[in-house]
Amino acid sequence: MSALASRILIAAVGIPVVLWLVYLGGWSMFALAAAAAIVGLHELYWMTRTLRPVVLAGYLGALAALLGATLGGPDWALGGFMSTFVLAFAFKGVAGTRQSTAVSVSLTVLGAGWIGLGLGHAVLLRDIPEHGVLAAFAVLLAVWAGDSAAFLIGALFGRHKLAPAVSPGKTWEGLIAGTAATIGAIFFAFYQEKADFLSIREILVLGIVIAVVAPLGDLFESALKRDMDVKDSSGLLAGHGGLLDRMDALLFSWVAAYYVIAAFGQA
């Protein structure tokens, strides 16, 4: 099977499942986020295994952040994440590895914060009263639309490299197309709710913020992969690479979207 065919097949199967679990919310959403966190952290810690992350502490800290988001909101999510520091230091001492404590603990905390809190904010976004399903779906679809537009236009018309030292395949032409697609998706998703949820100005601000942070999330993961000299986070999703390769833009976008909506008094 070609890479393109495998990408289409996995998307056709995976997207409806993800949307269904997000729609259900509650513990179904927690289960989806927890599974994604475990897989994403496994990919990150495998890529960076030579730096000796404290894997168990990262898993527990990320799950604590997700549990806090599900049960108590952003304060509890942050509290759950903060446990990673104590767990990483304690487990590092027990393991007695020769790797620098600063390196091991920092990488462990990075994973729990980036992936655990990122997914935790997806849970928080879904739990917004009345409009949580719309908000969660809109961010997912906007990031997917922006990523698809950037890939397509970049492949067809891309001439000017965006960040060749980090991700040689990305172009300014693709970025412009992705930005337009992301803002357009957010605008059309929220337009019917402009009287009850976000105003048109607020919708445009949200779209612009996501259009900015989503590519940064993508480039952040690309920089990590380049540091570790790997092409994909794993081969789990065949032509899509690893799960982390599919979540990178979303991990930044969920956090940004939640706080933008909260700043407008709607979270």
Identify whether residues 146 and 20 lie together within a single domain: yes
pLDDT one-digit tens code per residue, 96-110: 777 788 999 999 999
Same domain, yes or no: 147 and 90: no
- Judge whether residue 166 has pLDDT over 90: no
- pLDDT, one tens digit per residue, over 179-231 is 999 999 999 999 998 878 999 999 999 999 999 999 999 999 999 999 999 98
* Alpha-helical regions (H) of the chain: 3-24, 26-47, 55-71, 74-95, 101-111, 118-126, 132-157, 172-190, 200-228, 243-263
pLDDT in tens, 3-34: 556 667 777 888 899 999 999 999 999 999 99
Residue with tokens 């960040």: 163
* Domain tally, the chain: 2
Given 91, 126, 161, the domain boundary residue is: 126
Residue range of the domain that includes 181: 1-25+130-267
DSSP summary character for residue 51? G
Is the same domain home to 19 and 76?
no
pTM beyond cutoff 0.85: yes
193 and 167 co-located in one domain? yes
Interatomic CA distance for residues 1 and 213, integer angstroms:
33
Instruction: Give yes or no: residues 113 and 11 share one domain.
Output: no
3-state secondary structure 227-241: HHCCCCCCCCCHHHC
- Residue 10 and residue 134 share a domain: yes
Domain closes at, from 107, 126, 145: 126
Phi, psi of 171, deg, nearest 5:
-130, 160
